[in-house]
């Protein structure tokens, strides 16, 4: 049964603190967090404020949706004996997707997460983790929301770039964005109308790109103005003049300008403004600059 704050155990209070920590570290509002979990915002507030202990089914849904280690959410630790970890530490993302396991279905509906972990889920977590070669253990079904795909790709990409120097994190994320743009372009050319997975790749790598930009900005490696951080764009001022010259030459070819407009999905006047020699001409944001570079590199563009 649910419990109010007067009867919450110390363990449940700590779990409540970690639920809040997950949301805040992911920079989601309570409304956004609740929407992805398909529950009401008020319920998220009651969990985070330790007014109500979280049930096991909601906790497991949270872990799978945001790739959170069930062990970390329950105990604050990933390995026996280590100090409590902050969320986004490598071990805290080792989700085992216990929500989908048959043993989970046998747990009574109103069981609290803390009790379920002590009796069943803890042993199940250790059993699956011991035999699984990759972390996190990700399962995506056709019934899942697109946000799960984005969250999974974000967590995996963050793990891949975690130990890279800051400047390489920016380059890595940029390269994956370019790959997603090209893949999306190729799929649209053959009539597949893109893919939710391609869009998820772009969203995930943009998140990682923003993190990398913020980490590297104090080294003077990138332009990390507040507008760039908020939009997820990486400014490309040092490279834009050279890229602009190449584009100006490329769009003079028959059919090239209209092909670029279609590729970027922008108004033709926007292309003219970006490529204008006027001193008042505005440079494109980082995402558009990356897309234009990808278009130039496409061997099938008009030449």
End-to-end CA distance of the chain: 68
Helices (H), 26-165: 30-37, 41-48, 56-66, 70-75, 102-105, 113-116, 122-131, 146-161
Please answer whether residues 98 and 43 qualify as being in contact, where contact means their C-beta atoms are separated by less than 8 angstroms: no
Q: How far is CA 110 from the centre of its chain?
A: 31
Count of other CB atoms within 10 angstroms of residue 178: 16
Helix (H, G, I), strand (E, B) or coil at 123: helix
Three-state SS for 211-235 is HHHHHHHHHCCCCCCHHHHHHCCCC
Q: What does the block give as tokens for 50?
A: 């330790």
pTM, two decimals, is: 0.63
Residue by residue, pLDDT tens for the chain (303 residues) are: 444 545 899 999 999 999 999 999 998 999 999 999 999 999 999 999 999 999 999 999 999 999 999 999 999 998 766 678 888 787 888 899 999 999 999 999 999 999 999 999 999 999 999 888 667 888 877 778 778 888 887 787 777 777 777 667 767 766 766 666 666 665 555 555 455 566 666 666 666 666 655 554 433 333 333 333 333 333 333 368 888 899 999 999 999 999 898 888 788 888 998 999 887 777 776 667 777 877 887 777 888
């Amino acid at each position: 049964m649910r419990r109010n704050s007067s009867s919450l155990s110390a363990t449940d209070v700590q779990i409540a603190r970690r639920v809040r920590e997950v949301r805040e570290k992911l920079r989601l509002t309570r409304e956004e967090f609740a929407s992805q979990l398909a529950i009401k915002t008020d319920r998220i507030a009651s969990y985070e404020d330790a007014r109500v202990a979280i049930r096991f089914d909601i906790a497991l849904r949270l872990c799978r949706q945001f790739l959170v280690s069930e062990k970390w959410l329950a105990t604050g630790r990933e390995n026996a004996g280590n100090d409590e970890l902050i969320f986004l530490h490598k071990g805290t993302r080792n989700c085992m997707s216990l929500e989908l396991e048959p043993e989970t279905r046998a747990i009574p509906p109103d069981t609290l997460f803390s009790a379920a972990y002590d009796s069943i889920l803890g042993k199940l977590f250790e059993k699956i983790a011991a035999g699984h070669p990759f972390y996190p253990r990700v399962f995506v079904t056709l019934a899942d929301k697109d946000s799960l795909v984005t969250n999974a790709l974000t967590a995996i990409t963050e793990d891949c770039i975690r130990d890279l120097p800051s400047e390489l994190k920016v380059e890595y994320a940029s390269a994956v964005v370019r790959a997603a743009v090209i893949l999306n372009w190729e799929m649209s050319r053959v009539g597949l109308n893109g893919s939710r997975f391609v869009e998820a790749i772009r969203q995930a790598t943009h998140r990682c790109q923003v993190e990398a930009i913020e980490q590297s900005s104090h080294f003077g490696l990138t332009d990390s103005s507040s507008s760039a951080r908020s939009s997820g764009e990486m400014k490309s001022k040092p490279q834009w003049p050279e890229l602009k010259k190449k584009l100006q030459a490329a769009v003079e070819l028959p059919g090239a300008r209209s092909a670029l407009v279609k590729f970027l999905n922008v108004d033709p006047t926007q292309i003219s403004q970006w490529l204008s020699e006027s001193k008042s001409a505005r440079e494109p944001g980082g995402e558009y600059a990356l897309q234009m570079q990808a278009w130039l590199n496409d061997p099938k563009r008009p030449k």
